[in-house]
Structure 1
Amino acid sequence: MGITELRMMSVRVADILKLPTLKLAHILVGSRGLGREVEYVDVLESPDIDVIIKPRVLYLTSGFVFRDNERLQRLLLSRLQDTGAAGLIVEQGRYLTPLPQHMMETADRLRFPIIELPHGAVFADVISESLHAIFMQQGDALRKSQEIQKRLTEVAVGGGSLRQIAQTLANLVRNTVIVADRAFSLLSFAFWEKEHKTAKRKAYVGTTLDQYLYNLEKTGFINRIRQTKKASRVEVLFSKQGEQAWVVVPIIINGDILGYIAVLEDYHRLHEADWAALEQAATITAIAVYKEMTESEVLRRQRNDFLLQVLEGRLTAEDLILEQAKHLHVTLEGKWAVWQMEFTNLEAYCRDHFPEGSQAEGDVTAKVMRMIATHLADKQRDLLIVSKEKRLTILCPAKDWLAKDEVMQRVAEVRQEITHFSPELTSAIGISRLCDGHQKLAQAYREARETLAIGRKLDAAREIYSFADLGVYQILMKFKDHPDMKEYYQSILGKLDQLDAATRGDLLKTLEAYFSANANIYKAAQNLYLHRNSMKYRLERIKEMLGVDLDEPEIRFNVQLALKMRHLL
């Protein structure tokens, strides 16, 4: 993958060598460096090279000042390279005949071009022709930039949408243009509208463009732009799409990246004048992007509040639900699985990524949750995502009632997207049963929340908990707030709660291990790393305190049931 930082309005050394005065010039060494940019041409005839040498300047020299000074010759090449000079044109025959071998070898290693001035050519002519070419290039780029700025400004001032701005830019640069948000997710796109109707347009669709952006970000190229905040060009080979060349320009407001303009060079390679125009386009597009993102944020909040009201059972009127769903472009019909996702290390993540004092803790948490929700909504567009405090609730559509494998596949995809957002985040998910239509969403929401809560109590090491795997807890959850359930528990195990916390904990673990081992004392002892006599002693103490005989099947059932109830009380 090759990445090039864009510089506006540049002429290369190779372009200078095409000028009439230098057509017969001989490249002595460094032909691999002819792509270096030239912004000025000057004469180098002073030994004070630390002061004179400037970046992107092509120097002409007779070699007088360093003709017999090997130390200065070596220092000169090092300084030219370190400063970023464009190259060196030498007049051989007067003071340099031939160019010293060590200079040739060093220049070749550094890919620094050294060119022999043609016989009869004079410095003044080279400088005059070169500067004329540079200024003409700058003028062409400026005119192109002004044209694009004018056209885009007309569209923006006329109230044009982001799509219209993208279309105008696509026609001006004659390539496919994509506008992405700060997460590098698709906001808008446009194809070049060719003048000739016979020309066949390349076939892309929205999902394909989404995949292009996703693949491009995976290369690390976009992270580089986030760090430098500068436009860049990249050529990258994808297995399915083949080789693609992209030019990406950040859209910046008040020093922060708001989004990106990405140009896919599917018809034409962009020239320097186009690059300058893209910088102008980014400034104008920023207004439209900000407007669209603001409108999207308002819609996101309205959808979030609406779905929360439905899930929490605060909105139950059928006609009102359908009316608001239609207004917010939300479809609630069909079968759904509701997931409750909790980020188990969210506080640590926020501390690590947002310095103390930079924002209030609640603001940081809300910002991160909003970023995660937006990322998932962009990547998994058929999911409905609701954010509240430190959790996400996800409504996943399902095709049929026997869709457990389908739902688990979607869970895996969402977890992969979370990893893509940040590998550091860890999460746990509770999954409800499938429900049909919005009338059952509130019940499914409770199931997902309670499944996650119970699952975390029973086995905190797991990451995915399904209501279908809860067994008897599916029934017990319905009665967890009923006073009879607490009374039943107290009648069976209540006496253990009168002990100190350490003793109570040991005896409860003993009972759990005993039942998990199917009443096998020796196996239970092994699982608790106890001697079997210690296990027997604990069980006898429990029997004595509770006044029960654990050898009786009915009593064992009652104690086991009470233990399960304890997790819900």
Structure 2
Amino acid sequence: MSVTVADLLKLPCLREARVAGGHKGLGRFVGSISVLEYADPGALVDSFFENPSFVPGSEVVVSGFINIKDDVDTQCRVLKRLSEGGEAALILYYVGIYLPSIDKRLVDLADTLGFPLICMPENRLDFRYSEVITQTMETIFMDQNKDPHFVSAMLERITQLPDNRRTLGNVLRMLSDRLRSSLILFDHTLNHPEIAAWPISAAEYIANVLPELTREGLSSGSLVLSEENLTLYSTVLPVLTDHTPKMNLVLISENPVQSTAALEDAAEVLCLFINIWNKKEGTIGYSELIRSILNDEPLKMRRLADVLGIDVASIHTMWLVRPENGLKPTASAQLNEQVLKICRDFMQRQHLAGPSDIYDNTVVLFIQDTPLSLQMLAHAENLMACLEEEAFPVSFGFFTNQPDTSSVRKSFLLYQNHLKNARILYPASAFLSQAELSFTADCAETIARGEAMVRQVTAPIEPLLHTDSTIQEDLLATLSVYLLDAQANVSRTAELLYLQKNTVKYRLHKINSLLGYRVTKMPESNQLYTALAVRRLLDGQ
């Protein structure tokens, strides 16, 4: 849960207020409230928002514009700065008494920015700042106590931040304000920590804690600051991300922490932020969303999908690209990064939408429904051709008509568990369909059930095993390639076996004679296909 501007308008203190402009922003999250009254509020706002250390607080700002009541240009500048800074809304008091009226330019700007401009009842002095401040903070604290888990709410706030304010330091500051405790984020070297002191004025003595905190490695416990005559308590929790070495989040408080639940939420927010927004400069990482889909975690998936603006329900196609076995981990990781870039560039050129990232040594691409949905197979084959042009040693898995995330997870596990056998069964093609992987799994199950089952399944090719051994190998090789690799195409079979087409035709005629039927006759052909696949898989293992 999180409090929005629309929620505040239902409070008794704001019930008579009206929204003068910026209705589209009524869903903005509210984290706090502050007052803006100064001899020159325009200059004050500029000094705050131009300061790199300023952290947006999703605040509702209360003002009477008393010192700029006749300066509409400055009023507009203040409103724009508040919106750019990630604040939630502006409430104007005493309109008609000090501020003559709300100028149309201010209203139009609020509408353009989608920034709520709220006007208290005009020509009245019986409304006090303290009433809205008290009830707003009370509502926020009640909401936090009712639902102490704040990951979703914090992600909402992060998405509302301007791009230039969406930094690791600012997120740490927001978490510090939420926990009302100082937070320190250490990297694996314990050097150059990111510090968010609470209150901010405590930054100096929190910095003095660092030598004691890191002297013998990080650990939870008490820290005595003799100069300050103060005992502090540290609580340490790891932050594990996809693309950075292990980090540690330390909470510093003046009382022992009774429960680490809030700190665990803070660590999760940092992990999600780093994986989604801070993975690489200028990119968005989808690894957390992809992980939640492949692990079939619907609640987490919906939360992240909302943050990233992705309609998961429209995703029914999945492409998987994985490096061939035998590569060293470093080489495999580098190859995945190169493949991911090519795949994303391809999707952009083809106007294909959907999240993509690297998960479990596999490049995962989800494709949202588009007018080109019927051409998904052609797109996948074209992408595979692009990868082959780069001579990348990869395998490509193609999955379509996935009805839900549970099916997606099953398909991913099918690919991971049976890719090795599928490459044995279909060596001529690095492009593997869901049906081919499912068939591979069935063949592996047949072999696992023992020799009797194998003999039963491979019985259709028995007539070919009673010929001369040399002829036998030639006929089995030709039939295997013809059915398993060449889709019963004579020219393709000849190409793969480096033979003349007439040689292939002769061998197929011989096979037809030995079997007593044409190898393409159904359902006999299906039984032959399975028998040859099981035999090839046995030989390859």
Instruction: Give the TM-score of the pair, scaled to structure 2.
Output: 0.36
Bigger RCO (CA 8 Å, 6+ sep): 1
Larger Rg: 1
Instruction: Give the TM-score of the pair, scaled to structure 1.
Output: 0.34
